[in-house]
Amino acid sequence: MRAAAMARPSAIICDDAYLAFARLTQWWAARIRPASPAGIHPSAVVDPTAHVDPSATVSALSVIGPAATIAAHAVIGSHCVVERGASVGAGTVLKPRVVLGENCSIGSRCIVHSGAVIGADGFGFAPSQGRWEKIEQLGAVRIGDDVEIGANSCVDRGALDDTVLADGVKLDNLVQIAHNVQVGANTAMAGCVGIAGSARIGANCTIGGGAIVLGHLELVDDVHVSAATVISRSILKPGQYSGVFPFDDNAAWEKNAATLRQLHALRDRLRAMEKKIA
């Protein structure tokens, strides 16, 4: 996802070599790959009351009725499950083995890769006498246009309100989006990211692989989180944020890690010395 900075001045034939490369791959894919035929694979399990809407647009789909609605130019792959009240926009492709749960909607021109689960229950329980009482998850998932969701990723339904992915969001594989999360337009998350419940991520953010955002936090637009960083408080200023223990050979790490557990005490000793000298 970094721009290829390889074009020498004499070779520049377009403003953005990386974008040109993307376009070239699209042109090539269109030539060599037969398009998946629009329609519902016979092995998919679609709510029996679903109807295919030849004129379905995103706005039309936003009114969700009891029956599932699938745009005429959508592709529902093999072994997919589309539950009642769900809607799928025009040109959207559900690859094999995607689950789109009850009342969840996905816009136009999206791609959902195999194994993704959209609309499982959010993880909500109330403690009650040492046990957990289930909080039924009554919301759904609303996904905009031009969204891509990676293989085996999960987007949970909201508790009362919906979980929302805005237009142009891109999620890699094995990403977990908890209930009531809101992700702004064109934000991209690499593999193995986890976003905890009710977090609000702004637009045009990037979240590096394996990063975690804790629940109920806010990240404003244009925040960039480095891989494997744990975001434990809201970020209200755009920028790049990091927090990873630097790896080392094992022996060096062990010594530094052991010392780290005395760091606060070291600081106190340093202070004491500073006073003594002063």
Active-site residue list: 179
Select 72 or 248, whichever has its Cβ closest to a copy of itself. 248
- In the list 102, 161, 218, 220, the residue contacting a copy of itself (rule: CB under 8 A) is 102
Residue 49 touches a copy of itself, criterion: CB under 8 A = no
Query: Which residues, 223 to 252, sit near a copy of itself by CB under 8 A?
Result: 225-232, 239-250, 252
Residue 31 touches a copy of itself, criterion: CB under 8 A = no
Question: Least distance to a copy of itself from the beta carbon of 55, Å?
Answer: 26
Residue 152 touches a copy of itself, criterion: CB under 8 A = yes
> The dihedral of CA 93, 95, 97, 99: what is its sign?
negative
Residue 57: CB partners within 8 Å, gap ≥ 6? 71, 89, 90, 108
Query: Which residues, 157 to 216, sit near a copy of itself by CB under 8 A?
Result: 159, 168, 170, 172-174, 176, 178, 186, 188, 190-192, 194, 196, 204, 209-210, 212, 214
- CA dist., res. 240 & res. 63, Å (int): 38
Task: Tell me which stretch binds a copy of itself (CB under 8 A): 5-13, 56-64, 67-75, 77-85.
Answer: 77-85
- CA dist., res. 97 & res. 33, Å (int): 20
Ramachandran assignment for 204, one of left (phi > 0), alpha (psi -120 to 50 degrees), beta (any other): left
- In the list 60, 123, 218, 234, the residue contacting a copy of itself (rule: CB under 8 A) is 123
- CA dist., res. 148 & res. 202, Å (int): 17
Question: Which of 88, 145, 79 minimizes the C-alpha distance to 119?
Answer: 88
SS3 state at 117 = strand
Residue 277 touches a copy of itself, criterion: CB under 8 A = yes
Residue 39 touches a copy of itself, criterion: CB under 8 A = no
CA neighbours closer than 13 Å in the CB half-sphere of residue 260 = 8
Select 41 or 57, whichever has its Cβ closest to a copy of itself. 41
- In the list 6, 11, 13, 32, the residue contacting a copy of itself (rule: CB under 8 A) is 32
Structure tokens at 79: 């072994």
